[in-house]
Amino acid sequence: MKGLKQFRVKPGRAVRLAEIDPAWTGGFKDKDEAREALRRNIERMSKLQYRLYAQKKYALLIVLQGMDASGKDGTIRQVMSGLNPQSCCVKAFKEPTPEELDHDFLWRIHRVAPARGEIGIFNRSHYEDVLVVRVHDLVPRAVWRRRYDQIQAFERILAANDVIILKFFLHISRAEQRRRLEERLTDPSKNWKVAPSDFKERKFWGAYQRAYEEAMTRCSTRRAPWFVIPADHKWFRNWAVSQVIVETLESLRMKFPKPVLTGREKLE
């Protein structure tokens, strides 16, 4: 499928979210076609994960960010459904605990970064410290301002130590967020998902979009790229995320380690 590359944020290029259509669906004829492509990607991911685990050279870090109801949980549930839990770890970052607040903001992140051979999935991440923290002045401006450079330095360290980093911004429209929040209010199986804070945060939509734009503009690098994923259509979002992961893992050309034994040994 052509066109996905355009959502990779080129280092140094300013992101303007208003210019990216959240309802874009690429060249797919319909959602069935995309679902079939997703199914194939899930199978490929499973095989690639097996190699990643066997080779134990690289780790893969997948960062998921987006507004409330943008589909971070759904992406994990659907796109990662073929992964072997043995070498995969999901970490959700909530409001920092008092202990976490007593450390630098990257402390809680670095300690759960994936090890060689593993896939780590972050549901929210260190970026919250230049997003919610910035929008609500949770620390002085001078403090969060410095964090863009600190994040770049941190991700450079990970990348230099064989962590492959992919960062996804699930881009939904304000209207789509409203639909999803309303559904959470009316559907009894979704009630639990909705928090008063979701309605409060919605009022800060513009401030969040600007914070995301700056974070992605300043922290999309060759080794730790950001991708803006059109996410109004869940089926497209799922396929797009899976496609980036598969293409990235395939580009590593991972091989199974050389056998320790010759294969000619006799079993008793």
Q: Give 167's DSSP letter.
A: E
CB under 6 A: which stretch of 23-31, 131-139, 140-148, 259-267 binds ligand AMP? 131-139
| Smallest separation, CB 18 to Mg ion (Å) | 24
Q: Give 161's DSSP letter.
A: T
Query: What track of x and - describes contact with Mg ion for positions 27 through 66 (by CB under 5 A)?
Result: ----------------------------------------
DSSP bridge pairs for 35: none
What does 26 interact with, of Mg ion, ligand AMP, none (CB < 5 to 8 A by kind)? none
Q: Which of 118, 128, 176, 213 binds ligand AMP (CB under 6 A)?
A: 128
Strand order in the sheet with 119-123: 88-92, 119-123, 59-66, 163-171, 226-230
State which residue, 49 or 78, has the beta carbon closest to ligand AMP.
78
Query: What are phi and psi for residue 124, nearest 5 degrees?
Result: 70, 170
Question: Tokens 């971070």 sit at which residue?
Answer: 72
What does 266 interact with, of ligand AMP, Mg ion, none (CB < 5 to 8 A by kind)? none
Which residue's Cβ lies closest to ligand AMP?
Answer: 128
The answer to whether 65 and 125 are in contact (CB under 8 A) is: yes
CA 193/CA 199 separation, integer angstroms? 12
Q: Which of 15, 37, 83, 129 binds ligand AMP (CB under 6 A)?
A: 129
Q: Which of 2, 19, 27, 94 binds ligand AMP (CB under 6 A)?
A: 94
CB under 6 A: which stretch of 23-31, 33-41, 124-132, 178-186 binds ligand AMP? 124-132
> Nearest Cα to 227, choosing from 210, 240, 236?
240
CA 195/CA 192 separation, integer angstroms? 8
What is the full DSSP assignment across 27-89?
A: T-SSHHHHHHHHHHHHHHHHHHHHHHHHH-S-EEEEEEEESTTSSHHHHHHHHTTTS-GGGEE
CA 244/CA 224 separation, integer angstroms? 13
Query: What track of x and - describes contact with ligand AMP for positions 181 through 200 (by CB under 6 A)?
Result: ----------------x---
- Compute how many other C-beta atoms are within 10 angstroms of the C-beta atom of residue 19: 7
State which residue, 7 or 127, has the beta carbon closest to Mg ion.
127
What does 94 interact with, of ligand AMP, Mg ion, none (CB < 5 to 8 A by kind)? ligand AMP
Query: What track of x and - describes contact with ligand AMP for positions 31 through 70 (by CB under 6 A)?
Result: ----------------------------------------
CB under 6 A: which stretch of 3-11, 24-32, 78-86, 94-102 binds ligand AMP? 94-102
Residues numbered 134-153 forming contacts with ligand AMP, rule: CB under 6 A = 138
Question: Amino acid identity, residue 160?
Answer: A
The answer to whether 119 and 89 are in contact (CB under 8 A) is: yes
Using CB under 6 A as the binding rule, whether residue 130 contacts ligand AMP is answered as no
DSSP bridge pairs for 91: 122
The residues binding ligand AMP (CB under 6 A) are 93-96, 124, 128-129, 132-133, 138, 197
State the residues that interact with Mg ion by CB under 5 A: 68
